[in-house]
Amino acid sequence: MEQEYFSDIQILMDGSPKPNGDVYLIIKVEGRPKIKSYGFFQNGEVSKSDGDKIREIVNLHGGKIITESLIQNTENIVRGYYQEKGFLRAEVEILQSQDSTCGFNEKLLTIKVERGEKIKIGAINFHGNELTSFSEDDSNFEQWKQKNIGVRWWSEKKYERYQTNWYHESFQKIQIQ
């Protein structure tokens, strides 16, 4: 398993080979920076309650090694959080910086969020549905919740997988022509 502790490793030969064939090697290792602390960019886009919920979801803490995958996963989690709230065009960027309080090879992470506009779906209307009895009065339709980000067929619990069987059964009842 790759640990990604180092950003660069070089093995260099010191001088030229000795007459007996011996060589001296220099191993240069550059470690990846670690998180000193992290916070949110103060542009008013992230409320205190949103910030607290995001802190619960992301797995960031001081001393954790900063890798490309850590940055990408954190951006995806924060973007997903805002997309579930209806901000489908949310943009997330993680900025890395150092200041005088940082120790050797430590960085401060700042999560910058541009939520954009909230996207809402006013209504879902079925027209020309003659092949099935699936209608707005049908009890099956009530399981499809009209929310501000669209039709949901998954659980209301955070990050739970959607209910595949129910979705496919319900979708077969709707004939789109």
More confident residue, 24 or 2: 24
Is the predicted pLDDT of residue 171 greater than 60, yes or no?
yes
- What's the whole-number average pLDDT of the chain? 77
Q: What percent of the chain is predicted at pLDDT more than 90?
A: 28
74 neighbors 60 (Cβ within 8 angstroms): yes
CA end-to-end span of the chain, whole Å? 50
Q: How confident is the model at residue 121 (pLDDT cuts 50, 70, 90)?
A: confident
What does the pLDDT read at residue 166? 60
Q: How far is the C-alpha of 54 from the C-alpha of 111, rounded, in Å?
A: 11
Q: How confident is the model at residue 159 (pLDDT cuts 50, 70, 90)?
A: very low
Q: How far is the C-alpha of 177 from the C-alpha of 166, rounded, in Å?
A: 22
Question: Phi and psi dihedrals of 80, rounded to 5?
Answer: -60, -40
pLDDT in tens, 27-86: 998 888 899 999 999 888 888 999 999 999 998 998 899 998 999 999 999 999 999 888
Pairing relationship of beta strands 145-147 and 150-152 according to DSSP bridges: antiparallel
Q: How far is the C-alpha of 74 from the C-alpha of 64, rounded, in Å?
A: 13
What residue ranges define each of the domains in the chain, with the CATH number in brackets?
A: 32-114 (3.10.20.310), 120-177 (no CATH)
More confident residue, 158 or 48: 48
Q: Is 15 helix (H, G, I), strand (E, B) or coil?
A: coil
* Cβ-proximal residues to 155 (8 Å cutoff; 6+ apart), any chain: 161, 162, 163
